[in-house]
Amino acid sequence: MSRILVVDDEPAMVAVLSEVLKERGYDVLQATTPEKAMQLVREQRPDLVLTDIEMPQGKPTGLEVLRQTKALSRAIPVVMITGFATKERAVAALRAGAQDLIEKPFKIDEVIKCVEGALFSPQAVPTMESSVDLKRQVQNQYQFENMVGTSPPMEAVYRMISRVANTDSTVLILGESGTGKELVARALHHNSRRAAMPFVAVNCAALPEHLLESELFGHRKGAFTGASSDKVGLFQEADGGTVFLDEIGSMPLGLQGKLLRFLQDKELRRVGDTQQIKVDVRVVAATNEPLQDKLRNKTFREDLYYRISVIPIELPPLRDRVADIPLLVQYFLQVFAQQQRIAVPQVAPEVLDVLQRYRWPGNVRELQNVLERACVLCDGGVITMKDLPALNLEATGATVPAAPAGSPPALKSFLREQEISYIEEAIRAAGGDKEAAARKLGISMATLYRKLSAGSGSGGDPVSE
């Protein structure tokens, strides 16, 4: 259950907000003074602070609550409530790290939406400081929000983030798709002196060269067809903060030289402009492909490679940190259950065994998607084998565990029935086409027929492929 601290100098407002949040399953702490609020933040470590900006004259304001909360832990989201007359303070709140602003007068639904968005948004870096006991445990230990894991490979990542976060050195994050490279970039930003300034992410593979150049550096009106007005680029927009260049290996060769000059000089020139603009940003890049191959193929500049890889951080694939899977499973199920307002599902032992044996080519992102589906589809509050998608166990070299040799026949029969039911469901979904069902399940036709035959009474062990 997430723990929320409500702060307002009006007891009636505190009571109303507290009641609404309690009805939705949150544990609520209350404070009517900034001093009491900070005491509760220090002693209770809430997962979110909801505070009014305005306080009685002569008293610290909600901004001071925000600043002291962020000084204690940058990962605790703070949502501010502001009136029409406090626009300047609202801007100051955002600059100081407020997660969101609610403007008076407000609707209760708006408050709930902001609270849930702050608790579960990727912006709440990593997404790791929710009220869930698990999240608090990881956050207190590592202070890296949504990054979950206590395995040696992840401990090495945490140590590296701690050492380099407060520098301005360029960082290159290496790792397969779905390993959490943007989470590392956000952790670097939120644990640095730039934390109160913008964090801007851009996917270098998502845009053609001329649009990517305009997106990063901006352009002047009339610089090219369709440029109907001046545009500020992302580097300038993030001035004082951090720019995350994802999939930098896909950046067009022609644009790499301009990026290199910017990294060296900290100055940019918008497309179609002659003026040089000084910009102070930290650049964090990431790639899921070996840049050395691109260097050999002359599709990536060697000088740019050395400029962006001053500090490399390599993220392990999920298959190399299997010990973290139970922790990740618990974390994601708690998050999904909170979002869907249901009890946290239990996980059958054989399911957890399968999840730890699977090779996870899509890494943590794939695990997250599998668990979200299972959380929605499971019956009786327990995730069983039938709730898992067709994980391609054969292709990845994993096996679903067979029942132990000494298992009672009833357990073997149960597992066999669950597997056959799942295969039959896949065949029905494929309109009776067994070949299509086998492809969807990631098994061969021979395996499909053998398992169906076992279900008719041949006595073969369940889920042994």
Angle at 327 between CA 413 and CA 465, to 5 degrees: 35
The confidence score (pLDDT) of residue 88 equals 60
Which helix (DSSP H) or strand (DSSP E) does residue 362 occupy? none
Per-residue pLDDT tens for 23-63? 888 899 999 999 999 999 888 889 899 999 888 766 778 88
Q: Which of 452, 445, 464, 401 is nearest to 422 (CA)?
A: 452
Per-residue pLDDT tens for 228-251? 788 888 999 999 999 999 999 999
Q: Which of 41, 36, 47 is nearest to 3 (CA)?
A: 47
The confidence score (pLDDT) of residue 406 equals 47
Say which residue, 56 or 351, is predicted with more confidence.
Answer: 351
Per-residue pLDDT tens for 93-130? 776 778 888 887 788 888 888 888 787 654 443 333 33
Confidence band (pLDDT; 50, 70, 90) for 455? low
What is the CATH architecture assignment of 323-458?
Orthogonal Bundle (1.10)
The confidence score (pLDDT) of residue 43 equals 84
The confidence score (pLDDT) of residue 135 equals 39
The confidence score (pLDDT) of residue 401 equals 46
Per-residue pLDDT tens for 363-391? 999 999 999 999 988 888 899 988 887 66
Percent helix, strand, coil in the chain (nearest 5)?
50, 15, 35
Per-residue pLDDT averaged across 183-198, rounded? 89
Confidence band (pLDDT; 50, 70, 90) for 265? very high
Give, as one character, the DSSP assignment of residue 456: I
Confidence band (pLDDT; 50, 70, 90) for 286? very high
Q: What average pLDDT does the structure give for the chain?
A: 81
Domain segments of the chain as ranges: 3-121, 149-316, 323-458
The confidence score (pLDDT) of residue 146 equals 65
The confidence score (pLDDT) of residue 462 equals 39
Helix (H, G, I), strand (E, B) or coil at 154: helix
Instruction: Domain 3-121: give its CATH code.
Output: 3.40.50.2300
The span from the CA of 448 to the CA of 454, in Å, is: 10
For the domain made up of 149-316, the CATH class stated in words is: alpha beta
The reply to whether domains 3-121 and 149-316 share a CATH topology is yes
From first CA to last CA, the distance across the chain in angstroms is 39
Per-residue pLDDT averaged across 410-432, rounded? 68
The confidence score (pLDDT) of residue 126 equals 34
The confidence score (pLDDT) of residue 465 equals 41
On the question of pLDDT at 86 being above 60, the answer is no
Contact 283, 263 (CB under 8 A): yes
The least confident of 224-238, 322-336, 447-461 is: 447-461
Contact 80, 100 (CB under 8 A): yes
The least confident of 127-141, 243-257, 383-397 is: 127-141
Per-residue pLDDT averaged across 338-344, rounded? 84
Per-residue pLDDT averaged across 328-347, rounded? 87
- pTM for the predicted model, two decimal places: 0.57
Q: Which of 396, 398, 316 is nearest to 364 (CA)?
A: 316
Percent of the chain scoring above 90 in pLDDT: 37
The confidence score (pLDDT) of residue 263 equals 95
The confidence score (pLDDT) of residue 318 equals 96
